[in-house]
Amino acid sequence: MKSLRQLGFLKLPFLQPERESEDDDRVLMLFRNRAELKKAYASLQDEIYRLKDRIKQQEGATQRVQEMLSALEQRLSAQESGYPALVFYQLRGLWQLGRELLEQFAADLSRQLEERERRAHFAEHNRRQFARRQAVQSQLRAAETELAHANELVVALQAQRARLTRFWHYFKRQRVDELLVAARATSAGVEARLVDARAAAEALEREAAPEFRGLSLEGRRAINLAVIAYAEVLCLRLVKTDLVSLARDAVARREVADEYGSRQECEVIMANIARARAILQARTNIAQEVKARTERLKQIARYRGLNDTTPTAESIGIAEGDVLAGQTVGASAARLPNVLAEDTWDLFRVLLR
């Protein structure tokens, strides 16, 4: 017994590999955690650099806006530069009004046409479902009727077989047995078809309506042509002024231009802008004018691809002498622009893709 106790130290070598394995696992885990922490730290450093760069960009943009506001204040404080600044921003406002009118017009048309196409979509689905339901119900009724006849035949043969009990009915019983087997097989087949027909009817009832995928290609093309026609009508209403070209130049600039003349000349331009805004917002005969120009565009519009929704600018050019009957402002005739080629009223931002 004493010898066995003296051999107790032999347990240590057996435990040592297990402890070394645990230490290795701990060291490996520490290295993994250290690597993950380094990755996280590097990611945070990159994010800090990005945020600092964005802050610098925002500070630069803020500084530029402050400089523009300061320059605008200086312009407005002086009579010589204040009136041109007013004209400049009123021209930009006139352009923005045209764009807002087009956006509202396109939104109204899209909403109306989308609702119409949605109703047509589900109406067509219901028509197809009705036809399929009629076919399935017809198959179901035919299977039920055929099964009833087959079961009646089985019952009749069973009754006939039950009456054939005499020994001289042996051969007749054999014939009836054969007929009964065939009748039962027919009944089983008809019952299987009935089960399939019921399953088809249930599947048809559970079938959900297909999702409406939005406006069709034809619908988007129709809306775009109507929006282009509306843009033309807006230009035609101002055809005897140069306000459209002046507004385009003002929108293209970032700073106020001093090209509008003296105070009296600026006041005349601002009065014309006020009348032009009223004319653009007038709803008199707008539907008829847009419809007439849309019909014209439908006849001449051409598309580069089968899936394009916007016609080519060359195909919708306005012919010489194309004017709109009605009151306009100004006295000098100006060239009527190709609204699509010149992106009048920011037309491309309004058109549907």
Residue 58 has pLDDT above 50, yes or no: yes
What span, in angstroms and rounded, lies between the C-alpha atoms of 235 and 227? 12
Band of the pLDDT at 160, cuts 50, 70, 90?
confident
Overall residue count recorded for the chain in this entry? 353
pLDDT at 43: 87
Written as six digits, the tokens of 98 are: 């045209």
- Could you tell me which residue, 14 or 220, shows the higher pLDDT? 220
- Could you tell me which residue, 72 or 230, shows the higher pLDDT? 230
3-state secondary structure (DSSP) of residue 4: helix
pLDDT digits (tens, 9 = 90+) for 193-203: 888 888 888 88
Q: What is the mean pLDDT of the chain?
A: 83
Residues 66, 71, 75, CA angle at the centre, nearest 5°? Answer: 145
pLDDT at 80: 67
pLDDT at 73: 67
pLDDT-above-70 percentage for the chain:
86
Residue 14 has pLDDT above 70, yes or no: no
Written as six digits, the tokens of 177 are: 């047995």
Residue in this structure with the two tokens 């849309």, named with its chain if needed: 294
Residues sharing a CB contact under 8 Å with residue 194, sequence separation 6 or more, in sequence order: 140, 143, 144, 147
Written as six digits, the tokens of 55 are: 């802050």
Task: For residues 128-138, give the mean pLDDT.
Answer: 86
- Could you tell me which residue, 23 or 246, shows the higher pLDDT? 246
What span, in angstroms and rounded, lies between the C-alpha atoms of 159 and 176? 10
What span, in angstroms and rounded, lies between the C-alpha atoms of 269 and 275? 10
Residues sharing a CB contact under 8 Å with residue 16, sequence separation 6 or more, in sequence order: none
Task: For residues 106-118, give the mean pLDDT.
Answer: 94
Range with the lowest mean pLDDT among 6-15, 200-209, 331-340? 6-15
* Contact indicator for 206, 292 with CB cutoff of 8 Å: no
Question: What ranges do the domains of the chain cover?
Answer: 19-72, 83-120+216-350, 124-206
pLDDT at 268: 93
pLDDT at 263: 87
Letter for the amino acid at 212? F
Q: Which residue, 179, 191, 114, 123, is CA-closest to 153?
A: 179
What's the predicted TM-score (pTM) here? 0.67
3-state secondary structure (DSSP) of residue 241: coil
* Contact indicator for 269, 332 with CB cutoff of 8 Å: no
Written as six digits, the tokens of 186 are: 């027919």
Written as six digits, the tokens of 82 are: 């204040």
pLDDT at 20: 65
Band of the pLDDT at 84, cuts 50, 70, 90?
confident
Q: Centre a 10 Å sphere on the Cβ of residue 45 and count the other Cβ atoms it contains.
A: 10
Residue 248 has pLDDT above 70, yes or no: yes
pLDDT-above-90 percentage for the chain:
33
pLDDT at 19: 64
pLDDT digits (tens, 9 = 90+) for 318-351: 654 454 444 444 333 345 678 999 999 999 999 9
pLDDT at 119: 92
pLDDT at 7: 46
Using CB atoms within 10 A of its CB, is residue 244 exposed (0-12), middle (13-18) or buried (19+)? Answer: buried
Range with the lowest mean pLDDT among 28-37, 209-218, 293-302? 28-37
